[in-house]
Copies of this chain bind each other. A is one copy, B any other.
Amino acid sequence: MRLSCISNFGYTFVMNIESLLKKKNIKVTTARVALLKLLEAASKPVCYEEIKGRIAMDKATFYRNMITFEEAGILNAFESHSKMRYFELGHTPHAHFVCTACNGVECIESIDVQLPGYEIGTIVIHGRCRSCVEAGV
């Protein structure tokens, strides 16, 4: 299994993912390495719909691994409008914008919300994104 990963994604990268999983006591499997590789390469949060076209994987496996990653603290999840869950590797906390016109999802780094006494997880802003506003969609 490791050999095929090496040929696909390069040695260094695989080692990082493997050591991350091992550090979190999560078994290293083909599916998990492929998922983390794809999430790492993505510049935006992704949903199962987007992933299934690029990795052959049952949705049960996908969602179960997302839960595993989330519980290990290496992944953030949120829901767009219309019931779809989006996932991204967890780095600096930031908000997300979901466009109700084009369904696009963007990371928003520029806002900072404080709510004393509350523990803030994810922030989702719905509306029309800049492109759709400009295009009058």
Q: Does A28 contact B (CB under 8 A)?
A: no
Q: Write out, one digit per residue, whether chain A residues 106-122 have a CB within 8 A of any chain B CB (1) or not (0).
A: 00101101110111111
Q: How many copies of this chain sit in the oligomeric assembly? A: 2
Q: In the complex the two chains form, is A124's CB within 8 Å of B123's CB?
A: yes
Q: In the complex the two chains form, is B127's CB within 8 Å of A118's CB?
A: yes
Q: Does A125 contact B (CB under 8 A)?
A: yes
Q: In the complex the two chains form, is A126's CB within 8 Å of B83's CB?
A: no
Give the number of chain A interface residues (Cβ < 8 Å): 28
Given A79-B79, A79-B81; A120-B113 close (CB under 8 Å): no
Hey, which chain B residues are within 8 Å of A81, CB to CB? Answer: 79
Q: Write out, one digit per residue, whether chain A residues 56-92 have a CB within 8 A of any chain B CB (1) or not (0).
A: 0000000000000000000000110101000000000
Given A79-B83, A83-B83, A126-B124; A133-B113 close (CB under 8 Å): no
Q: Does A129 contact B (CB under 8 A)?
A: yes
Q: Does A23 contact B (CB under 8 A)?
A: no
Given A83-B83, A113-B113; A126-B128 close (CB under 8 Å): no
Besides A108-B115, A118-B128, 4 new A-B residue pairs in contact (Cβ under 8 A), listed by A number: A79-B79, A97-B115, A117-B133, A124-B126
